[in-house]
């Protein structure tokens, strides 16, 4: 499905955002025409800013394409532990997809996954555990030409001993039994993620219900901390002579300055069509969250009334 096939009156479906061979080939050609030879494809999976996961067949196509083109795939799975609707998301790590499609050699089965030289993963604790201040992450690669310089770099900017000890204790800590008659304990991380998923789903569902109430199109989110919204209805008309960047910025500033709503504009994240915004629904207290929904209702009601009057 081609992203460009949709006009301004149609909200873009989730599948239109999936990378495929055609779109990746087109990106390579466009890059080479600018004198740049692509070497790396970076994907966010689960996807920021969309709040969705790519289906396994999409990841499989990306992996195969990168291997054929000898382009390095870096899969950023920093939201892998924040998939709060797993039955819908069907999230599978790119490492699992890549290893299943390219099984390791017999003599390396226990040491490597068999990813080959072009598949790499990065992860950090900042999102799933709300620990951005620790600056702790991990990478995985089976390419020695990449692993060696990363190891050398780590000698100059390694994580402090205190932080390493804190993270080790966090990952191995256990929770007390939930009932007195239970003897079994569980890892603290498992209990934390379970509660975190419940809270993410509750917040996300509440925000999506508000969008449904107001008739605002969006992508049903399954992971991460945000919802991707289609606010093209409220863009200034093209007849004013503004380009797409100016139209979206005008809408962004109107939401922010006149109604106290701060959404991330899609054009700032290279979205091709103006009028799409990311709402981070976790960055607020319960009171602030309710206030945000009230402000959005006020904005939509006021704006639609004004647009009808102008007609």
pLDDT band at 180 (very low <50, low <70, confident <90, very high): low
List every span in the chain annotated with CATH 3.90.1150.10: 186-310
List every span in the chain annotated with CATH 3.40.640.10: 3-174
pLDDT of 6 above 60:
no
pLDDT of 230 above 90:
yes
More confident residue, 106 or 187: 187
Question: Which of 90, 13, 51, 86 lies closest to 227 in space, CA to CA?
Answer: 51
Classify domain 186-310 by CATH architecture: Alpha-Beta Complex (3.90)
pLDDT of 9 above 90:
no
Average pLDDT, the chain: 90
Question: Which of 92, 111, 88 lies closest to 101 in space, CA to CA?
Answer: 92
Chain position carrying tokens 């962004």: 252
Question: Which of 233, 306, 308 lies closest to 274 in space, CA to CA?
Answer: 233
Please write the tens of the pLDDT for every residue from 37-84. Answer: 999 999 999 999 999 999 999 999 999 999 999 999 999 999 999 999
Report the alpha-carbon distance of residue 269 to residue 249 in Å, rounded: 13
Q: Output the pTM of the full model.
A: 0.88
Q: CA 4, 31, 16 angle in degrees (round to 5)?
A: 25
pLDDT of 10 above 90:
no
Please write the tens of the pLDDT for every residue from 102-118. Answer: 655 555 555 678 899 99
Report the alpha-carbon distance of residue 31 to residue 236 in Å, rounded: 32
Report the alpha-carbon distance of residue 139 to residue 133 in Å, rounded: 18
pLDDT of residue 105: 56
Kindly tell me the sign of the dihedral angle through the C-alpha atoms of 296, 297, 300, 301.
negative
Strands 218-219 and 226-230: antiparallel
Question: Which of 61, 56, 51, 2 lies closest to 26 in space, CA to CA?
Answer: 2
The CATH fold assigned to 3-174 is 3.40.640
pLDDT of residue 108: 55
pLDDT of residue 113: 86
CB 85 within 8 A of CB 48: no
H-type alpha helices, 107-224: 144-156, 161-172, 188-214
pLDDT of residue 8: 45
Report the alpha-carbon distance of residue 115 to residue 31 in Å, rounded: 26
Report the alpha-carbon distance of residue 211 to residue 228 in Å, rounded: 11
């Amino acid at each position: 499905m081609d992203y460009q096939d949709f006009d301004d009156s149609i909200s873009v479906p989730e599948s239109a955002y999936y990378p495929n061979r055609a779109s990746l080939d087109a990106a390579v050609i466009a890059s080479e025409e600018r004198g740049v030879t692509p070497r790396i494809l970076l994907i966010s999976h689960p996807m920021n800013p969309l709040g969705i996961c790519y289906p396994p067949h999409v990841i499989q196509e990306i992996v195969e394409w990168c291997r054929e083109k000898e382009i390095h795939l870096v899969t950023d799975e920093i939201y892998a532990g924040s998939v709060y609707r797993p039955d819908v998301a069907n999230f599978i790590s790119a490492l699992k997809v890549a290893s299943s499609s390219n099984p390791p050699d017999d003599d390396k089965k226990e040491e490597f996954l068999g990813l080959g030289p072009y598949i790499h993963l990065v992860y950090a604790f900042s999102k799933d555990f709300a620990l951005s201040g620790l600056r702790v992450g991990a990478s995985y690669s089976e390419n020695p030409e990449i692993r060696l310089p990363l190891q050398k770099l780590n000698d100059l900017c390694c994580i402090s001993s205190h932080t390493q000890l804190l993270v080790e204790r966090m990952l191995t800590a256990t929770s007390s039994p939930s009932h007195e008659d239970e003897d079994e304990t569980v890892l603290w991380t498992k209990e934390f993620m379970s509660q975190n998923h419940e809270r993410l789903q509750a917040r996300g569902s509440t925000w999506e219900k508000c969008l449904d109430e107001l008739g605002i199109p969006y992508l049903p989110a399954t992971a991460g901390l945000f919802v991707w919204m289609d606010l093209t209805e409220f863009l200034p008309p093209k007849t004013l002579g503004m380009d797409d960047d100016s139209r979206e910025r005008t809408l962004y500033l109107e939401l922010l300055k006149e109604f106290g709503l701060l959404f991330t504009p899609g054009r700032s994240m290279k979205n091709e069509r103006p009028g799409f915004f990311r709402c981070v629904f976790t960055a607020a207290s319960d009171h602030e969250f309710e206030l945000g929904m009230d402000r959005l209702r006020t904005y939509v009601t006021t704006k639609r009334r004004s647009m009808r009057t102008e007609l």
